[in-house]
Amino acid sequence: MASRIFAALTRDEGSSDTDESPRREEPSVRTDGGTVTDGASDATTAAVGDDASALGRLRRSRFLESLPFWGPPALLVFFFVYGAIAWNFVISLTGWEGLGSPDYSSLSTEMYARLLSDPSFTAAFRNTLVLLLAFTVLSLILGLLVAILVDQKIRIENTFRTIYLLPMSLSFVVTAIFWSWMYNPTNGLINEALRGVGLDAFTQAWLADPQFKLAAIIFALMWQFSGYCMVVYLAGLRAIPESQYEAARIDGASTIKLYWRVIIPQLRASTMSAAVVLVVFALKAFDFLFVLFGVNPGQSADILSVMMYRVAFDRIQWAYGSAVAMVLFAMTLGVIGPYLYVQYRRGEL
């Protein structure tokens, strides 16, 4: 999972169990005599560890030694990821449409200007933000609650965890099909259940009514990804030493106070990493909407990733699609950039 990075990056000091891990208890090997502060991270030490000026030879040889290992994968990544993004940017500056090839000779920001005056872009942009925010917050809350419940030393914990995480292993295509059936106005489980408890008045054509479309999508996505939040939070909870619960109880804190004031504040790192991953999933939620609505979810549920596909591959307005893609990329960067920077500064990269 993308999250694993974060779990790894944010893994705070005490979080690993006490197995044989001499490296943890013994950072002095590298830093001996070198670093003055405790805060000096492995990364920093490693960065300065290979010495500076005079011994370039040795350093170069270390560089050369490692190159065969990371070089080829890096080449693939740089070409396919960063090369492609740069190329995409250039395409977004052309006016390329239809069959044929892009004309790279005249570049302009016309496509971006067009974005600003396109009402469907405004709608998609707004929906993307709503989806992002609501989906992330709701999934985090549900995930946290489930994690706290699972953390109560319950029996067959593994079985519960496995069931809660199960939706995460399914393809968007599969879950979209399940949920289109769940939301079916006449036979779907949601409406059946509402009728079953006498709430006939609340039955809706969930996926057809513009009023409920986006909410229905968010709910389904939350179903799929809250299990993931649960797992991240559970790891965070397990990292908090038992003694803190005991100390708080001795201090007379009620369970709710204990969690609210002692435990949850310590889960900030878990929250941050889970949130970043959820945002990225939300930005990528294309598959789910595409299966439910095809390329036209309608203004009330259109999001940028669907719009990009529609514009580029359905209407074959390549340059315009690339411009939408750049906006999507910028949004991702807006979330990931600060996060990576913080991680880097904390030496947790």
Q: What's the closest the beta carbon of residue 289 comes to another protein, in angstroms? A: 11
Structure tokens at 218: 């968010």
Q: What is the DSSP string of 119-182?
A: HHHHHHHHHHHHHHHHHHHHHHHHHHHHHHHHTTT-TTHHHHHHHHHGGGGS-HHHHHHHHHHH
Which residue, 196 or 210, is less far from another protein as judged by CB? 196
Residue 185's nearest CA partner among 173, 198, 174, 195 is 195
Out of 23, 257, 261, 268, the only residue in the binding site for another protein (CB under 8 A) is 23
The rounded distance, in Å, linking the Cα atoms of 267 and 273 is: 10
Interface segment toward another protein; rule CB under 8 A; list 19-27, 132-140, 246-254, 259-267? 19-27
Helix (H, G, I), strand (E, B) or coil at 250: helix
Which residue, 212 or 223, is less far from another protein as judged by CB? 223
Out of 16, 120, 122, 254, the only residue in the binding site for another protein (CB under 8 A) is 16
Instruction: Decide if 11 contacts 42 (C-beta within 8 A).
Output: no
Which residue, 214 or 283, is less far from another protein as judged by CB? 283
Which residue, 176 or 214, is less far from another protein as judged by CB? 176
**Interface with another protein includes 138 (CB under 8 A)?**
no
Q: What's the closest the beta carbon of residue 196 comes to another protein, in angstroms? A: 8
Interface segment toward another protein; rule CB under 8 A; list 112-120, 203-211, 241-249, 281-289? 281-289
Which residue, 167 or 248, is less far from another protein as judged by CB? 167
Structure tokens at 157: 């914990």
* Cα angle 110-116-122, degrees, rounded to a multiple of 5: 145
Contacting another protein within 42-61 (CB under 8 A): 42-43, 45-55, 57-59, 61
Contacting another protein within 245-274 (CB under 8 A): none
Out of 127, 134, 207, 227, the only residue in the binding site for another protein (CB under 8 A) is 227
- Residue 234's alpha-carbon distances to 47, 143, 279, in angstroms, are 33, 9, 20
The rounded distance, in Å, linking the Cα atoms of 280 and 48 is: 33
Q: What's the closest the beta carbon of residue 65 comes to another protein, in angstroms? A: 5
The rounded distance, in Å, linking the Cα atoms of 10 and 97 is: 45
DSSP 21: -
* Residues contacting another protein: total by CB under 8 A: 140
Which residue, 166 or 247, is less far from another protein as judged by CB? 166
Q: Is 18 exposed, middle or buried (0-12, 13-18, 19+ CB in 10 A)?
A: exposed
Q: At what angle do helices 286-293 and 172-182 cross, to 10 degrees?
A: 50
- Residue 22's alpha-carbon distances to 26, 33, 42, in angstroms, are 6, 19, 14
Which residue, 16 or 244, is less far from another protein as judged by CB? 16
Residue 305's nearest CA partner among 292, 315, 295 is 295
Out of 14, 63, 268, 296, the only residue in the binding site for another protein (CB under 8 A) is 63
Instruction: Mark 69-98 with x for binding to another protein (rule: CB under 8 A) and - for no binding.
Output: xxxxxx-xxxxxxxxxx-xx--x-------
Interface segment toward another protein; rule CB under 8 A; list 26-34, 131-139, 204-212, 261-269? 26-34
**Interface with another protein includes 143 (CB under 8 A)?**
no
Which residue, 11 or 114, is less far from another protein as judged by CB? 11
Q: What's the closest the beta carbon of residue 60 comes to another protein, in angstroms? A: 9
Contacting another protein within 159-218 (CB under 8 A): 160-175, 177-182, 184, 186-189, 192, 196
Which residue, 134 or 237, is less far from another protein as judged by CB? 237
